[in-house]
């Protein structure tokens, strides 16, 4: 897939798994207009690998895929402990399909033909529900306090000015404390990018530069840890647990 730059007000990366290019293009268009980054796959095996690599915020999954169908793909995700929200899309309208999909852990179900606006609306609703009320409380890690609603950060009690991207990167890491993210995953979640724009290292450099800027602004309160050769994580600095 070609590189795609996400629009302003990025809401995270959505994975579309659809073998009909017309439907995939329509879904991608409306999701990007709604502020999501988008990555598309038409093959179930490839989609499984990319879901693990990119850690999307949600998956729009066609049931009737060639090879590994959507039902099997969803089953494998759930069996591996991956509970990324899934919206099934299918040309079939049999109740048994919907029941099976929901029993496997799908979050919603749309039957073709459907309105792409309805897809966006349902996806937003699912993400609001799965986010939960607790996520809107200030995040506290060590001496760092992040207010997600006000988009403000305090380091050791002092207000810290961050750019929009710096805030999004810090918030994403701190919402998942202790989890190590690769640069690919951070590019997907924060920038909505699924490919490096020019050279292999340009995207990696973007992440590294923003991490360096955050550490400079947050000083000793910075919760960002480097895992050499892997990526970054957030944890309270020693002595500030």
Average pLDDT score over residue span 122-147:
76
Share of the chain above pLDDT 90, in %: 30
Supply the pLDDT for residue 131: 63
Supply the pLDDT for residue 192: 67
pLDDT at 211 over 70: yes
Q: Indicate the pLDDT class of residue 133, thresholds 50, 70 and 90.
A: very low
Supply the pLDDT for residue 239: 43
Supply the pLDDT for residue 198: 37
Q: Indicate the pLDDT class of residue 110, thresholds 50, 70 and 90.
A: confident
Supply the pLDDT for residue 175: 86
Q: What is the pTM of this model?
A: 0.58
Supply the pLDDT for residue 9: 42
Phi, psi angles (nearest 5°) of residue 239: 90, -5
- Distance, in Å, from the CA atom of 176 to the CA atom of 141, rounded to the nearest integer, reads 11
Supply the pLDDT for residue 222: 94
Q: Indicate the pLDDT class of residue 196, thresholds 50, 70 and 90.
A: very low
pLDDT at 71 over 70: yes
End-to-end CA separation in angstroms for the chain: 43
Q: Sign of dihedral through CA atoms 19, 20, 21, 24?
A: negative
Strand partners, 159: 154
Average pLDDT score over residue span 76-105:
74
- Distance, in Å, from the CA atom of 104 to the CA atom of 82, rounded to the nearest integer, reads 12
pLDDT in tens, 2-57: 334 444 344 689 999 999 999 999 999 999 988 888 999 999 999 999 998 888 98
Pairing of β 144-147 and β 158-160:
unpaired
Supply the pLDDT for residue 174: 92
The domains located in the chain, with CATH, are 13-131 (3.40.50.2300), 135-234 (1.10.10.10)
**Greater model confidence, 184 or 223:** 223
pLDDT at 100 over 90: no
Average pLDDT score over residue span 106-113:
80
Report in angstroms the alpha-carbon separations of 161 from 32, 88, 133, 165, 177: 28, 41, 26, 12, 22
Supply the pLDDT for residue 193: 62
Average pLDDT score over residue span 158-184:
88
pLDDT at 202 over 60: no
The secondary structure of residue 220, as a DSSP letter, is G
- Distance, in Å, from the CA atom of 230 to the CA atom of 45, rounded to the nearest integer, reads 24
Supply the pLDDT for residue 65: 86
């Amino acid at each position: 897939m070609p590189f795609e730059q996400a629009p302003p007000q990025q809401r995270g990366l959505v994975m579309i798994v659809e073998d009909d290019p017309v439907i995939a293009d329509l879904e991608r268009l409306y999701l990007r207009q709604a502020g999501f980054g988008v990555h598309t796959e038409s093959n179930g095996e490839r989609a499984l690998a990319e879901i693990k690599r990119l850690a999307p915020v949600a998956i729009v999954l066609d049931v009737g895929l060639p090879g590994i169908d959507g039902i099997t793909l969803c089953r494998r995700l759930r069996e591996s402990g991956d509970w990324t929200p899934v919206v099934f899309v299918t040309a079939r309208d049999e109740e048994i399909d919907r029941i099976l999909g929901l029993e496997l852990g799908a979050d919603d179900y749309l039957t073709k033909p459907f309105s792409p606006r309805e897809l966006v609306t349902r996806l937003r609703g699912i993400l609001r529900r799965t986010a939960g009320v607790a996520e809107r409380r200030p995040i506290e890690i060590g001496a760092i306090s992040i207010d997600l609603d006000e988009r403000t950060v305090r380091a050791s009690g002092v207000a810290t000015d961050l750019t929009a991207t710096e805030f999004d990167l810090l918030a994403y890491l701190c919402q998942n404390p202790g989890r190590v993210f690769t640069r690919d995953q951070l590019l997907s979640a924060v920038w909505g990018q699924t490919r490096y724009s020019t050279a292999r290292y340009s995207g990696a450099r973007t992440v590294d530069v923003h991490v360096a800027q955050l550490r400079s602004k947050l000083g000793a309160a910075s919760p960002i840890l480097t895992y050499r050769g892997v990526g970054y994580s957030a944890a309270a600095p020693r002595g500030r647990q």
